[in-house]
Structure 1
Amino acid sequence: MENQIKTLKAHLALNVKDVTRSIDFYQRMLGLEPSKVRTGYAKFDVANPPLNLTLNEMPFDGKGALSHLGIQVASSDDVNAMKSRWQSQGLVPREEMQTTCCYALQDKAWVNDPDGNEWEVFVVLQDNLSEETQNAAEKTCCVPTFVGIDGKEKEVATACC
């Protein structure tokens, strides 16, 4: 099969009410320290099973704890290959290239499932950016415009990975 995409790990972003309390819980649950901690944010790189778990402090506002789902890949070419695959299947991807998100420089593409769950495919180009760099970036990091499977814009999300 051509255009093989090497998946690195799944990505799960959870909205949490208290990131400090959640860090403590996930450290105990997973048996490891977070790989990145910033104000209102933490990331755990889990080896087994391969998982990029991020915690984003924010009020739920009745929307639940799931922020979005993702698949981390090895390169920008893999992001583009997945985007092309989605387009060939009639999905309507949105791309964010060279975007600052999660204290990292990333290339990514997004699609929404029929219930509005957001999926991203992304590559980290540069990791561990400073809080100042992140804060200077748009406040809409990891906030794709919600687009239904029909391609029509619906609303704007309010999460950050």
Structure 2
Amino acid sequence: MKRFHVHVHVKDLEKNIAFYSAMFEQQPARTEADYAKWMLSDPPVNFAISTRGNAPGVDHLGIQVDQAEELAALKASATRADMALLDEGTTTCCYARSDKYWVTDPQGIAWEQFHTLDSIPVFSEAASTSNEVEPQACCAQPATNTVAMVQFSKVPRPAQGAKACC
């Protein structure tokens, strides 16, 4: 099964948890101090919010799959369509370990395509082992020199070759 994924950066997590819990008529499947996620079945959506990022609003879109074979099929389709891919392989973000890659649409909107492997106790393992004070943006794509991989303005990129998250 494929599941549509939306991640929204919010300023007030508690207020937004109350709003979306009422709208979806269910509580989040996961809640952390800076993050909440609903795994909706009607419609099937992985909807997440966090206080990480630069500006409130839609952070990125994505497709979550249940099986590694489904991710491989999506990646093969993107490759056949000659989309510029940013393949992160196995990475951690949003309290999860996932295999993922990114594509960017013609407007510059980042699309994450991923298969979640496991839940982890921290937002990102890389960030949890550093001395950083400022939280890193969720799902930031590393910068690329590929013209077709348009950088999208809401999420800062780590240095070339750095791992990202979500």
TM-score by length of 2: 0.78
Given the alignment of the two structures, is residue 27 of structure 1 paired with residue 14 of structure 2, yes or no?
no
**2: CA distance between counterparts of 1:73 and 1:154?**
24
**2: CA distance between counterparts of 1:137 and 1:81?**
34
**2: CA distance between counterparts of 1:110 and 1:123?**
12
Report the equivalent of 1:131.
Answer: 122
Aligned length: 152
Given the alignment of the two structures, is residue 145 of structure 1 paired with residue 136 of structure 2, yes or no?
no
Any runs of at least 4 consecutive aligned residues in structure 1 with deviations exceeding 3 A, and if so which? 58-61, 132-135, 137-141, 146-156, 158-161
The correspondence of residues 87-106 of structure 1 with structure 2, limited to 5 A, is 87-106=79-98
8 Å CA contact 1:38, 1:131 repeated in 2: no
Deviation at 1:40, TM superposition (A): 1.2
**2: CA distance between counterparts of 1:14 and 1:132?**
15
Q: 1:48 to 1:119 in 2, by over 3 A?
A: same
Given the alignment of the two structures, is residue 108 of structure 1 paired with residue 108 of structure 2, yes or no?
no
Report the equivalent of 1:81.
Answer: 73
The correspondence of residues 14-53 of structure 1 with structure 2, limited to 5 A, is 14-53=8-47
Report the equivalent of 1:57.
Answer: 51
Deviation at 1:75, TM superposition (A): 2.0
Q: Give the aligned residue type for 1:109.
A: Y
**1: CA distance between counterparts of 2:61 and 2:123?**
26
**2: CA distance between counterparts of 1:16 and 1:105?**
23
Q: 1:91 to 1:82 in 2, by over 3 A?
A: same
The alignment-based identity, stated in percent, is 30
RMSD of equivalent CA atoms: 2.8
TM-score by length of 1: 0.80
Secondary structure of 1:143's counterpart equals coil
**2: CA distance between counterparts of 1:91 and 1:42?**
31
Deviation at 1:84, TM superposition (A): 1.8
Secondary structure of 1:42's counterpart equals strand
Q: 1:96 to 1:50 in 2, by over 3 A?
A: same
